[in-house]
Chains A and B, each alone.
Chain A
Amino acid sequence: QKEVEQDPGPLSVPEGAIVSLNCTYSNSAFQYFMWYRQYSRKGPELLMYTYSSGNKEDGRFTAQVDKSSKYISLFIRDSQPSDSATYLCAMRGGQDNYGQNFVFGPGTRLSVLP
């Protein structure tokens, strides 16, 4: 079992739909949870990150972390064709363990159809 699991997709939705992207993990030491967006032939771009459990909202994006279930989600509201990309979750230990590596999920490819 990989340390971070993510449905690879591809996931196709119509424009305007609500998109839910999810990751599960096995390492309870993870404290920071990140979501990256990667367009084709580009490097990943950090969308948002959260510390420990809870929700965080930024515009059309909402990140949720449920540490008890070892489950994180990214919701995209009013999805746009420009949101079509691969979405990567990533995780890392806390500040008292910042030497721990970042661990990335395999990514979910999303297509938003006009």
Chain B
Amino acid sequence: KAGVTQTPRYLIKTRGQQVTLSCSPISGHRSVSWYQQTPGQGLQFLFEYFSETQRNKGNFPGRFSGRQFSNSRSEMNVSTLELGDSALYLCASSRGQGEVEQFFGPGTRLTVL
């Protein structure tokens, strides 16, 4: 069974631009969560999507948004990029909403210049 895939793996953007990251969950998994990982703050929860609806949200500004499609694939968007948005963005999938067992993808490394 294929794991969680994320595209692109690496991305370089400049301040003020926007970016869209993509995540394909494990087949049969309907929940997708997004996390930001930085050396200073560690791994922080962004939001969770289940059945195309955002079910849970972390403490991030509105510049961070996401969506989920009917096939459970998810995208995350960051608008008006700031230098502090440079991070590893991780997607995790699970069978259902709020399940403890999450399976992470390899992440997208975003660098904002």
Given A88-B43, A101-B58, A104-B42, A44 and B104 contact (CB-CB distance below 8 Å): yes
B interface footprint on A18-44 (CB within 8 Å = 1, 0 otherwise): 000000000000001010100001111
Q: With contacts defined as CB atoms under 8 Å apart, how many contacts are there between chain A and chain B in the complex?
A: 46
CB-CB under 8 A for A107 and B103, given A44-B90, A98-B97, A101-B56: no
With A98-B97, A101-B56 known as contacts, the answer to whether A46 contacts B103 (CB < 8 A) is yes
- Bound state CA distance, A90 and B92, in angstroms? 14
Chain B count of residues within 8 A CB distance of the other chain: 21
Chain B residues within 8 Å of A103, by CB: 45
For window 86-114 of chain A, which residues contact chain B by CB distance below 8 Å?
Answer: 88, 90, 92, 95, 98-99, 101-107
Is the pair A41, B106 in contact by a Cβ cutoff of 8 Å?
yes
> Is B100's beta carbon under 8 Å from chain A?
yes
How would residues 19 to 34 of chain B score, 1 for a CB under 8 Å from any chain A CB and 0 otherwise? 0000000000000010
| Residue A61 at the chain B interface, CB threshold 8 Å | no
Interface residue count for A (Cβ, 8 Å)? 23
Could you say which of B101, B102, B107 has the most chain A C-beta atoms within 10 Å of its C-beta? B102
Q: A98's contact among B4, B45, B98, B104, by CB below 8 Å, is which?
A: B98
Using known A-B contacts A101-B56, A101-B58, determine if residue A44 contacts B45 with beta carbons closer than 8 Å: no
Q: A42-B106, A101-B45, A101-B56 are in contact. List 15 more A-B contacts (CB 8 A).
A: A32-B100, A34-B100, A41-B106, A42-B107, A43-B90, A43-B92, A43-B106, A44-B90, A46-B103, A49-B101, A88-B43, A95-B98, A98-B97, A98-B98, A103-B45
